[in-house]
Structure 1
């Protein structure tokens, strides 16, 4: 591993020097020093500028913690949960539902197809649901789902929405004001190290959470509603990670959200034009691909291409997951890496490898 290695993966992303430097500051005791609680409140205020006006909680754990915590906190035994899916993480919500003795009803479709609104409406008409889950950006396939119409239907049926926006929040617009529990993470578009889950929680989600008896601590969202105001955390927080996240959010807000979104779009457009010039096809198509990650269909060559890019050009890419492990090569242009020069370096190297 060299100092100039370029990690163009769809998370964890490259961490800017300013974030790394901030994390090297002296570590406070987050359990007893009042200044730390004030710092935490300031950080959640900054995250509200990204999310909107809902309450923000920051959990000490990688993004998957947020997915499990949302289910653990909202689902009681016997509750029916509609798991809307067209990818690996959408389907994975059902595992958490069953883990907490809920009834998971999966409304799924091909990974190459959009969310099936007609099927979703039919499921909602046929049964009563307390919660529905879905994914905004399916990282394994690079698909960005159009969740607006789905949120409309869920609102009509008074169903609490849980959205995994881990790979899109901070890189593309997310309708956070219409989502009851919107999940993000530090290591994706925010370009901070792995280790923190961020989530916004609506008033009606809090009401449901407070009615559920959760058998857990790390997976219980309820204590976080008043934790900062009461100057008490359910467990010792990750102070250095929080420092790094604040600097990452400062960089994002200083640049401006709209400018950040434009930068991601420009990087994605450049990456896909270069890929087309090399004769590579997107998985599944340009219209539904996320500005944060490009998935290329390489039919059995993903592992070899990944190895050659790392060994010959010191560039780290990701392959697909599950059944697509060797058929999809993924380039992450999110957060700090959503820059034309980094995309060009990556595609220059990929061109050389293919030749």
Structure 2
């Protein structure tokens, strides 16, 4: 049983869709129809309007070919040039990583960070905003390595109050689809196929505001592949041959998601997370981050010095695959991905029964 926080288990209807005859994305009009339907479905998930009058909630949704990390790099590559001032707000590995991308593309990164088990450092953010001006700000909604769901609203409020021109970039890869994301307040909101949508890895998703597009058009492009701008208008073709099977798979996965309904999907994630933590408490396990800030999509249990041993025993003795922590927490965190197709109480119970056996 695959219960990692991405890639997640792919349900049978999605696998069936992938097995159909291959479509040529460069010459077959049917592929364009599928891609357009996919972006419409994603707009519903993001909660944005792609066709209405210009306004705060209007966003274009694009789906480039490339695993989710492509979106993080492409957002920086598309908005940052030498001298661009970027504020990177962080309480985790991926939040820190934005600063590395900024440096790679010649920008000036100011990392406002805290310990990985803390909430976003809002006091430090306010202080930095008082002293500096920024062009772009980055942050992470769900820090997957620690299972932390960040409340972005206070940070977005501070950024708006300080300078309404700051472009916001948010990694919502591990939350989009399982929990509400305030996309209407974000200029570039990033997702991916292999998390809460339960499609295979291979696609980045992004909801992009008009002002973010305008900023991209003002910058000299660094590359084709790590560049969102060529995806703004695909009526005449895609920037490169698209990943046909992955697009068909994500479209099928989103069809299942929308048939179930937004509220039902989110409730299923909430219930699975609650059950996971309830069972964990019975075993003497606590989430690494504060339970009030733990994500509905992933639980990261603190198991100091035992994560890799437990992961191995679960795989070998119970055929259950979980993830450990990353970086310096590699052996101290065991992560259960109750997201997408796996966000079901019965699946959580099966995992926790196995975990109880190996503890």
TM-score, reference length from structure 2: 0.96
User: 2:207 — aligned with what?
Assistant: 200
Structure 1 residue ranges (4+ consecutive) displaced by more than 3 angstroms after TM superposition: none
Q: SS in structure 1 opposite 2:64?
A: strand
Q: Quote the Cα distance in structure 2 between the aligned partners of 1:47 and 1:101.
A: 32
Whole-Å separation in 1 of the counterparts to 2:64 and 2:126: 33
Q: How far, CA to CA, are the matches of 1:47 and 1:281 in structure 2?
A: 34
Gaps of 5+ in 1: 1-5
Query: Is 2:336 the counterpart of 1:331?
Result: yes
**What residue in structure 1 maps to residue 293 of structure 2?**
288
Q: CA deviation at 1:38?
A: 2.2
1:26-48: CA deviations, max 9, x gaps?
11111112222222112111111
Query: Equivalent of 1:34, from 29, 34, 49?
Result: 29
Return the match for 1:25 from 20, 24, 32. Answer: 20
The residue correspondences of 1:180-199 to structure 2 (distance < 5 A) are 180-199=187-206
1:66-145 mapped onto 2 (5 Å cutoff): 66-145=71-150
- By how many angstroms is 1:347 displaced? 0.3
Contact 1:154–1:160 under 8 Å retained in 2: no
Aligned to 2:350: 345
SS of the residue corresponding to residue 154 of structure 1 reads: helix
Could you report, residue by residue, the CA deviation over 1:9-65 in whole angstroms, capped at 9, with x for unpaired residues? Answer: 000000000000001111111111222222211211111111112100101000000
Task: Supply the distance in 2 between the matched residues of 1:179 and 1:141 (Cα, whole angstroms).
Answer: 23
The one of 318, 324, 342 aligned to 1:319: 324
CA deviation string 1:232-268 (max 9, x = no partner): 1110000111000001001111101111000000000
SS in 2 for 1:84: strand
- For these two proteins, the number of residue pairs brought into alignment is 347
Q: Name 2:273's counterpart in structure 1.
A: 268
Q: Which runs of 5+ in 2 are unaligned?
A: 50-58
Q: Does 1:62 align with 2:67?
A: yes
1:213 aligns with 2:220: yes
